[in-house]
Chains A and B, each alone.
Chain A
């Protein structure tokens, strides 16, 4: 079946460090791919998306490219801030539902 695998956390970085959170997926067909972010005590916020191969989603300095050949959608940011501390979820959309990875907790220290 369809599935999403994310790198395990927690990930701890210093402010202004480079961030990569790995995400790979298994799916039939051509799903859309998403990154969501969850701050403590809140729901999920859509961070970025890509709907077809080679699309690059970007938002608030975060980027991810839909790589069909490696079935990956890695999240990157060049310079993280303390305010980026949150849990990040990779997800694919297929058949009217989202399938999520297990989430990666990011902690950014000043």
Chain B
């Protein structure tokens, strides 16, 4: 069974640019969540999608957005990149709410903003 696939693995962008990250969940999983991991702030929740609808949102500025497609694949977009957006972005999927099953994480996309 294929795991959660995130592309690309590494990305270097310049301040002010925008970036799109992709996540393919485990087959049959309808929930996709995104997290930002930095040395200073640790792991922080960005948002969660379920059946193409945003179900939860964390405390990030509007520059961070996402969407989910009918095949459950998800994309995350960050516009007007800032140096502080440099982080490991992790995607996680779950069959339902994740409360009982937990979440399966991908290997992440390492974004560096210069």
Point out the residues of chain B lying under 8 angstroms from A89, CB to CB. 43
Please state if A97 and B58 are interface contacts (CB–CB under 8 Å).
yes
Q: Is the CB of B107 within 8 A of A46?
A: no
Return chain A residues, CB-CB under 8 Å to B84.
none
B55 interfacial contact with A, CB 8 Å: yes
* Per-position 1/0 for B30-52, Cβ under 8 A of A: 01010100000011010010100
Q: Measured between alpha carbons, how far is A91 from B106 in the docked complex, in Å?
A: 17
With contacts A97-B45, A97-B56, A97-B58 taken as known, whether A44 is within 8 angstroms of B105 at the C-beta atoms is: yes
B86 / chain A contacts, CB cutoff of 8 Å: none
Question: How far is the CB of A40 from the nearest CB of chain B, in Å?
Answer: 12
Band of interface residues on A: 20 to 34
How many angstroms between the C-alpha atoms of A103 and B99 in the bound complex? 20
Query: Is A110 on the interface with B (CB-CB < 8 A)?
Result: no
Interface of B, secondary structure class, is: strand
Q: Count chain B CB atoms within 10 A of each CB in A44, A49, A91, A97 and give the residue with the most.
A: A97
Classify chain B: how many residues form its interface, as a range. Answer: 20 to 34
B100 near A32 with CB under 8 A, answer: yes
| B70-114 interface code vs A (CB 8 A; 1 in, 0 out) | 000000000000000000001010000111101111111000000
Is A45 close to B, CB under 8 A?
Answer: yes
Residues in A lying within 8 Å of B, measured CB to CB: 31-32, 34, 36, 42-46, 49, 51, 89, 91, 93-103
> Can you sample 27 A-B contacts with CB below 8 Å?
A31-B99, A32-B99, A36-B105, A42-B107, A42-B108, A43-B90, A43-B106, A43-B108, A44-B92, A44-B105, A51-B100, A91-B43, A93-B103, A94-B99, A96-B48, A96-B50, A96-B99, A97-B33, A97-B58, A98-B33, A98-B43, A98-B98, A99-B45, A100-B42, A101-B42, A102-B42, A103-B42
